[in-house]
Amino acid sequence: MNAAQRKITEADVLSDADYAARRKELRAASIETKRNRRVEVGPFATLYFENYDSMWLQVHEMLRIEKGGREQIAGELEAYNPLIPQGSELIATMMLEIEDPIRRNTVLGRLADIENTVFMEFGGEHISATPTEYGDRTTPDGKTSSVHWVRFRFTPEQVAKFRSGEGQVVVGIGHPNYGHMAVMAPSIRQALAKDFA
């Protein structure tokens, strides 16, 4: 796998047998990598910053679960390639993780459009995340999904400031019913800096 790659092609996809033989080792490596690609914001929102490797593994997991064979690959690539950063952005899966189903239903019912309130601040810069092109994640009655994908677009100057390591990077959510911020650990910042071209 190559984290600098920007697109998964069919040639990058292992056969079912090859993936099965390497799955345990690949998943263990992924867990270690993801430790430096996640930021918890408040009590139940976590941003998992994606890259080629995480999406490559996700494609293989979907193929394993759904057992659609080679015919399934094109659909998985269409779904997951847009979540690979293209050199001037960071892309995160935002999970709203609430174990109790009754509480989850109540809380999600108060967080309509939360994906439009995610931001990042560093070095005097403020970057508002934008939802990815996966359609509206809020139902007509105002209940949001527990999974969102958000994109942080950077200018070249912002990339340079992020890479500098100076000061703190703050990741926040400014929803009226969920206002929380978290300081990004330096190890995470260093890992994410590799997503830029």
How many CA atoms lie less than 13 Å away from 25 in the CB half-sphere?
5
Closest CA to 196 of 77, 51, 46: 51
pLDDT score recorded for residue 70: 82
Question: Mind giving me the DSSP string for 40-106?
Answer: EETTTEEEEE--HHHHHHHHHHHHHHH--THHHHHHHHHHHGGGS--SSEEEEEEEE---SHHHHHH
**Residue 60 contacts residue 125 (beta carbons within 8 Å):** no
- Reading the block at residue 115, the tokens are 């994906």
> What digits encode the pLDDT tens for the residues 19-54?
999 999 999 988 888 889 999 999 999 999 999 999
Percent of the chain with pLDDT over 70: 96
pLDDT score recorded for residue 69: 79
Confidence of residue 1 (pLDDT cuts 50, 70, 90): very low
pLDDT score recorded for residue 135: 61
Task: Read off the pLDDT of each residue in 168-182 and give the average, rounded to a whole number.
Answer: 97
Of the listed ranges 15-19, 135-139, 181-185, the one predicted with least confidence = 135-139
Task: Read off the pLDDT of each residue in 169-173 and give the average, rounded to a whole number.
Answer: 98
Sheet containing 125-128: order of strands: 125-128, 118-122, 170-175, 178-183
Backbone phi, then psi, for 40, in 5-degree steps? -85, 130
Of the listed ranges 46-50, 56-60, 71-75, 177-181, the one predicted with least confidence = 71-75
Task: Read off the pLDDT of each residue in 8-21 and give the average, rounded to a whole number.
Answer: 92
